[in-house]
Amino acid sequence: MLFSKLATGVLFSIVGAQKLIEHDKLAASGLRNLEQYIKRNGVPSPGTCTMYNVAVRKEWSMLSKAERRNYIEAIQCIHSKPALTPAAVASGAKSRYDDFVVTHVLQTYSVHGTANFLTWHRYYIWAYEQLLRDECGYKGYLPYYNWAWWYENPGKSPLFDGSDTSISNGGTFVPGRNSTCIPSVEAGCPIVLPPGEGGGCVTGPLANWTVSLGPIQTHAEGIKPNPQADGLGYNPRCLNRDVSKEAAYSSRDEVITALIEDSNDVLTFQNRMQGDFANGYLGVHSAGHYTINGDAGSDFFNSPSDPAFYFHHAQVDRTFWIWQNQDIENRKDQVMGTITFLDQPPSRNGTVDDVLTLGPMFRDTFADITIADALSTVGGPFCYVYE
């Protein structure tokens, strides 16, 4: 009913704005599968999520200009509210926005290259969406950035075009910069990215945005170091980007579609998504980060300091959702991988009972949940689908 209406809407709107591309067709057929699954089995969270109140997350370009301005105001609001992080944990955290960054930094090695990578980030960006709505008057849902729609020229996308309905541009161009090495454990520099189109501070609505934390493991050169060794001291500076077409090329439609269609289990899916650098394969997750690039965007720990993070990770979550919806019966409970980054040091396998936490700064607002709670976007605390 509502769900299939949504699916049809997706097809029409994509045909209207863009050419119909393959992974979006998989999104639409996956949504129909989800509807059928719910018809047979009910919604996993019947008390809180129904077909009538389900949120629909949309591509940024599909929001009206008023909706985009409402979102930009909400992120500026969350960025102007005082932090709850105690100074003893991160003296550089100045805003409620920074609370999120600290949460990511402190858990970096336990939520990447691990069994909980997809579900932890699902919970993390959902919590951000809730705070924008609950504390900052945002009326919509978390928008995503569809890598494939804009890969030919991400700097001209409605998200990064620098207009008053964008989240600023891809950085002011700085000439004469070096290429970036994407290292792998085995070989030196299997992937080398040439400098992108920016390299300096952004212009547009976030021109005055202050990044407080990091850098910790940035690929950008010339960023002033953090006063603390852990990167959690106060280091106010502009939002810097270096939007990269070369990185974006690794997240075009055929790459996403192959990832979804050729991954028969979640281990294959999550590993491929996070890249196989030694073999020159960036993976759509890394490609999206290096498309944004720059100081925060390329920083493994500090990447959420750039609000573009949440658009990228919503598309990561959408890709996971599309993959799950291709075969819900077999994929709805799949958790694979271990609990340490790339299994170093070797550790046990993750399970559906493992806890996902947003840390002490959010414990009052968002209770710890388990991976089982986060395996469905219409189960646990969640109630959303993607267009």
Ligand X SMILES: *[C@@H]1O[C@H](CO)[C@@H](O)[C@H](O)[C@H]1NC(C)=O
Q: Residue 231 contacts by C-beta under 8 Å, 6 or more apart in sequence? A: 105, 213, 214, 215, 216, 301, 302
Among 56, 89, 336, 352, binds ligand X (CB under 6 A): 336
Q: How many binding residues for ligand X (CB under 6 A)?
A: 11
Among 51, 56, 89, 267, binds ligand X (CB under 6 A): 267
Which string of x and - marks every residue 113-132 that binds ligand X (by CB under 6 A)?
--------------------
The closest of 24, 310, 9 to 149, measured between CA atoms, is 24
Output the CA–CA distances (angstroms, integers) from residue 183 to 60, 86, 189, 223, 309, in the order listed. 32, 34, 5, 20, 21
Considering the complex, what minimum distance in angstroms separates the CB of residue 354 from ligand X?
13
Strand partners, 144: 59
Q: Return the SS3 of 318.
A: helix
Stretch 190-209 residues interacting with ligand X (CB under 6 A) = 205, 207-208
Stretch 219-258 residues interacting with ligand X (CB under 6 A) = 221-222
Rg of the chain on CA atoms, in Å = 20
* Segment interacting with ligand X (CB under 6 A) among 52-60, 173-181, 243-251, 352-360: 173-181
Among 16, 47, 176, 346, binds ligand X (CB under 6 A): 176
Which tokens belong to 20? 């119909």
Pick 64 or 178: Cβ nearer ligand X:
178
Q: Outline where DSSP puts E strands in the chain.
A: 55-57, 180-182, 191-193, 210-211, 237-238, 355-356, 369-370, 384-386
- Residues 223, 101: Cα–Cα separation, whole Å: 18
Pick 177 or 332: Cβ nearer ligand X:
177
Per CB under 6 A, does 268 bind ligand X? Answer: no
- Residues 64, 304: Cα–Cα separation, whole Å: 25
Per CB under 6 A, does 133 bind ligand X? Answer: no
Among 69, 177, 237, 245, binds ligand X (CB under 6 A): 177
Among 8, 41, 64, 178, binds ligand X (CB under 6 A): 178
In the complex, the residues that contact ligand X under the rule CB under 6 A are 176-178, 205, 207-208, 221-222, 267, 336, 349
